């Protein structure tokens, strides 16, 4: 039987592609330190878990497709704490930020249309684009320019065609850790106005900025209120990855009324999961301030090890909880597989993510890895020493 072109074009996740090798290593009795996936090892807050324990309803009903009132109101309160005033109709609760990205692609572009995407980018954007039969057009950010958006503004202008419908950005960025300035965002806003484009802004790491600067949201630009789309999620913010609660936000009422049709087609986001995030959305700062300090400690450990390894190139990330490192190897995928299949130190090894699939331009990222700083301080120190030793052995073999 024939499979659809759509499913054949949809890439596998590079973040999860080495799971089989990891399982084989564990079967051999090797401990694997997992730097590959953005799953922090910190406890999910008690206020989230207590909601599940104390649910008193006798029936778990279908939620409203837009979201239950308690969750919608909590999102409103959360954004207001960041100086963004929204109506309930400006928000649709989604199954994580992933569904919000897919909805935004489906709502803004037809099959064959284009969305400009600075690279390196969150790999699942490519998967969602393939599902929607949309072409992602890459514009390359570089380590030499600190992965900053302002360095490619002119190129973005040049890549706009009559098929371009939107630009998608991730700010703070996964995987580079870059944080985009107000000035750079303003230049992107000007491009959107000149060319009648949407800006889709993935802001799920908003709280995780380490240099003391505040975060500038795409919703802070009133001149594009009809074409700004915000993607959000509580997965990383509250270490609630399995809860799958996010939202899509826009003040464009026609757009949101139509996106609601997608939400109705998938029925609803689970009721209990929505209820569980309400307490943290209402009072997020105490928790997010603590975890930001923890991520900064982990970032500094990883960066200080990497920068002292001969042949490794990296810059200090300003936000999110990832670092992108260029290694003295020809193929990072081969190196990652070798770490799991053929290497261990004191019966331990490390799992990282090869970065080639964070790019669309052929050849880029082939010798790069992404490290998620999701392990506690003790494990991070141990795992980075193992990675350092593994890289030394690999480059000498």
What tens digit of pLDDT does each residue of 216-228 get?
Answer: 999 999 999 999 9
pLDDT at 38 over 90: no
- Whether residue 79 contacts residue 220, with contact meaning beta carbons closer than 8 Å, is answered with no
Other beta carbons within 10 angstroms of residue 264's beta carbon come to 12
Token pair 């992602």: residue: 136
The pTM (predicted TM-score) of the whole model is 0.95
Q: What is the mean pLDDT of residues 2-19?
A: 82
pLDDT at 120 over 80: yes
The b-or-e profile of 195-215 (16+ CB within 10 A means b, else e) is eebbbbbbbbbbbbbbeeeeb
Question: Strand 164-170 to strand 114-119: parallel, antiparallel, or no bridges (unpaired)?
Answer: parallel
C-alpha angle 140-144-147 in degrees, rounded to nearest 5: 50
CA dist., res. 354 & res. 351, Å (int):
10
The most distant pair of C-alpha atoms in the chain lies apart, rounded to whole Å, by 63
pLDDT confidence tier of residue 14, bands split at 50, 70 and 90: low
pLDDT confidence tier of residue 367, bands split at 50, 70 and 90: very high
What are 335's two structure tokens?
């190196």
What are 33's two structure tokens?
């330190």
Bridge partners (DSSP) of residue 349 are 32
**What are the pLDDT digits (tens) for 247-298?**
999 999 999 999 999 999 999 999 999 999 999 999 999 999 999 999 999 9
pLDDT at 15 over 80: no
In this prediction, residue 103 carries a pLDDT of 98
In this prediction, residue 396 carries a pLDDT of 80
In this prediction, residue 243 carries a pLDDT of 87
Q: What is the mean pLDDT of residues 304-308?
A: 97
pLDDT at 207 over 90: yes
Specify the CATH architecture of the domain 5-43+286-396.
Answer: Alpha-Beta Complex (3.90)
Bridge partners (DSSP) of residue 92 are 248
Bridge partners (DSSP) of residue 123 are none
In this prediction, residue 287 carries a pLDDT of 92
- Whether residue 13 contacts residue 330, with contact meaning beta carbons closer than 8 Å, is answered with no
C-alpha angle 39-44-50 in degrees, rounded to nearest 5: 150
**What are the pLDDT digits (tens) for 131-169?**
999 999 999 999 999 999 999 999 999 999 999 999 999
Burial of 301 (0-12, 13-18, 19+ CB in 10 A): middle
End-to-end CA distance of the chain: 45
324 φ, ψ to 5°? -105, 120
DSSP state of 223: G
Q: What is the mean pLDDT of residues 383-393?
A: 97
Percent of the chain with pLDDT over 70: 99
Q: Which residues contact 207 (CB under 8 A, 6 or more apart)?
A: 215, 237, 284, 288, 291, 292
Domain extents in the chain: 5-43+286-396, 60-283
> Under DSSP, is residue 78 helix (H, G, I), strand (E, B) or coil?
helix
Q: Which CATH class is domain 60-283?
A: alpha beta
Nearest to 142 by CA among 176, 174, 191: 176
pLDDT at 304 over 80: yes
């Amino acid at each position: 039987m024939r499979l659809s072109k759509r499913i054949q074009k949809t890439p596998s996740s590079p973040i999860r592609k080495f799971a089989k090798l990891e399982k084989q290593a564990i079967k051999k009795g090797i401990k694997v330190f997992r730097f590959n996936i953005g799953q922090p090892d910190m406890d999910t807050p008690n206020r989230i878990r207590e909601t599940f324990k104390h649910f008193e309803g006798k029936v778990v009903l279908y939620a409203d497709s837009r979201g239950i009132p308690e969750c919608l109101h909590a999102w409103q309160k959360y954004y207001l704490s960041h100086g963004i005033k929204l109506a309930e109709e400006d928000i649709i609760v989604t199954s994580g930020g992933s569904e919000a990205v897919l909805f935004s692609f489906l709502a803004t572009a037809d099959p064959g249309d284009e969305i400009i995407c600075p690279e390196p980018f969150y790999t699942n954007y490519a998967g969602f684009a393939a599902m929607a039969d949309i072409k992602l057009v890459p514009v390359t950010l570089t380590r030499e320019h600190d992965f900053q958006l302002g360095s490619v503004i002119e190129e973005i202008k040049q890549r706009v065609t009559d098929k371009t419908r939107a630009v998608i950005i991730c700010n703070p960025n996964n995987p580079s850790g870059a944080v985009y300035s107000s000035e750079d965002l303003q230049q992107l806003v000007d491009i959107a106005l000149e060319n009648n484009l949407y800006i889709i802004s993935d802001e799920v790491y908003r709280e995780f900025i380490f240099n003391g600067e505040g975060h500038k949201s795409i919703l802070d630009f009133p001149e594009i209120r009809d074409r700004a789309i915000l993607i959000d999620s509580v997965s990383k913010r509250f270490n609630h990855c399995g809860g799958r609660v996010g939202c899509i936000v826009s003040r464009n009422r026609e757009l949101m009324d139509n996106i609601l049709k997608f939400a109705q087609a998938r029925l609803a986001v689970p009721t209990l999961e929505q209820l569980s995030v309400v307490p943290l959305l209402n009072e997020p700062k105490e928790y997010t301030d603590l975890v930001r300090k923890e991520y900064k400690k982990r970032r500094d450990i990883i960066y200080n090890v990497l920068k002292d390894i001969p042949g490794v190139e990296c810059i200090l990330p300003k936000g999110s909880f990832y670092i992108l490192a260029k290694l003295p190897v020809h193929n990072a995928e081969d190196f990652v597989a070798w770490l799991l299949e053929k290497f261990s130190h004191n019966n331990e090894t490390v799992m990282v993510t090869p970065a080639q699939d964070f790019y669309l331009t052929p050849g880029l990222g082939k010798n790069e890895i992404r490290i998620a700083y999701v392990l506690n301080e003790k494990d991070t120190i141990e795992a980075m020493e193992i990675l350092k030793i593994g890289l030394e052995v690999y480059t000498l073999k």
